[in-house]
């Protein structure tokens, strides 16, 4: 099996009410990297993830994961949607939620084993949430809920992690913890694909950047993508109002969120 390419998209178009949200997108994303999908609001970032996960209907084109269709490799893929899309009032404990990551199609009717519970506990420990195992998820802060969601994803033991805006609504400590975790996952040979909205931190966090604005503006190693021409093409006039982007482009310094 050739796992050099984690995701490839060809001629991918997705339309809502006949209006293209993604238009003729083509790219190949390398395995074993932390990859950021960035672009202005409404540029199709979340739709791209949903198209990869077969959650929206494609108008044209196709996506391959590790050179196969999603159904053939689903157990190797973990998807973390936006936190806002989840009903956090659902009566479940933190451990219950993380254990959901251990269920497979062939395990739905089987009891989870001690090994499953150990893996879930290990995942919670990685996100510093083990002490909250018995807490109801509705009682957690936004940052804590995001950590639990990521722990569930880790418990799956996937090879490819697809995350939609994991840094939204979290505190600086959680953001740093998630970023460090992504680097650990990379060291273990995992691939992490993240929709991200903050240009100021994108170059710090990612190895590879997909720059999107309905169509693909560019995809490549971050040093090739972070230049004024490509950013201007993606963001247009909006680029001028993004704070400190000039500093970012000139590579003077990359501001990290204040602690």
What is the tens place of the pLDDT at every residue in 14-33?
998 888 999 999 999 999 99
Print burial letters for 230-250: b (CB count within 10 Å at least 16), e (below 16). bbbebbeeebeeeeebeebbe
Note the pLDDT of residue 103.
Answer: 82
As a whole number of angstroms, the distance between CA 226 and CA 199 comes to 10
* CA-to-CA separations, 234 to 129, 135, 151, 198, 240, in angstroms, rounded: 38, 43, 33, 14, 12
Q: 19 has which bridge partners?
A: 16
Domain that holds residue 184: 5-250
> Does a structural domain hold residue 257?
no
Tally of domains within the chain: 1
237 contact partners, CB below 8 Å, separation of at least 6: none
* pLDDT, one tens digit for every residue, the chain (259 residues): 457 999 999 999 999 888 899 999 999 999 999 999 999 999 999 999 999 999 999 999 999 999 999 999 999 999 998 877 777 777 889 999 999 888 865 566 678 889 999 999 999 999 999 999 999 998 998 889 889 999 999 999 999 999 999 988 888 888 888 999 999 999 999 999 999 988 889 989 999 999 999 999 999 999 999 888 999 899 886 655 444 444 554 454 444 443 3
> Does a structural domain hold residue 259?
no
What confidence tens digit (pLDDT) does each residue in 174-202 have? 888 899 999 999 999 999 999 998 888 99
193 contact partners, CB below 8 Å, separation of at least 6: 6, 7, 29, 35, 37, 49, 160, 161, 162, 163
> Does a structural domain hold residue 219?
yes
SS3 165: coil
> Does a structural domain hold residue 255?
no
SS3 61: strand
> Does a structural domain hold residue 236?
yes
SS3 256: coil
> Does a structural domain hold residue 189?
yes
CATH assignment at residue 243: 3.40.50.300
**CB distance 38 to 196 below 8 Å:** yes
> Does a structural domain hold residue 116?
yes
Of the candidates 127, 197, 196, 191, the residue with the CA atom closest to the CA atom of residue 155: 127
> Does a structural domain hold residue 256?
no
């Amino acid at each position: 099996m050739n796992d050099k390419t984690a995701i490839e998209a060809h001629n991918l178009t997705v339309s809502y009410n006949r209006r293209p949200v993604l238009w003729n997108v083509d790219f190949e994303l390398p395995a074993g990297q932390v990859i950021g999908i960035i672009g202005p609001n409404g540029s199709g970032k979340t739709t791209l993830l949903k198209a990869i996960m077969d959650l929206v209907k494609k108008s044209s084109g196709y996506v391959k994961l590790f050179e196969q269709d999603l159904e053939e490799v689903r157990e190797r893929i973990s998807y973390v949607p936006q936190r806002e899309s989840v009903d956090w009032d659902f009566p479940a404990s933190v451990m219950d939620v993380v254990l959901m990551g251990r269920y497979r199609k062939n395990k739905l009717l089987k009891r989870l084993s001690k090994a499953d519970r150990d893996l879930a506990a290990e995942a919670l420990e990685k996100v510093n949430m083990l002490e909250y195992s018995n807490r109801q998820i509705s009682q957690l802060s936004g940052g804590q809920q995001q950590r639990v969601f990521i722990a569930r994803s880790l418990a799956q033991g996937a090879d490819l992690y697809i995350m939609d805006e994991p840094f939204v609504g979290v505190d600086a400590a959680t953001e740093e913890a998630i970023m460090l975790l992504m680097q650990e996952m990379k060291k273990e040979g995992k691939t992490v694909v993240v929709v991200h909205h903050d240009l100021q931190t994108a170059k710090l966090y990612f190895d590879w950047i997909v720059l999107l604005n309905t169509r693909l503006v560019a995809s490549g190693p971050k040093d090739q993508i972070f230049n004024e021409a490509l950013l201007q093409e993606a963001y247009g006039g909006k680029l001028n109002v993004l704070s400190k982007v000039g500093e970012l482009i000139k590579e003077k310094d990359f501001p990290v969120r204040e602690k």
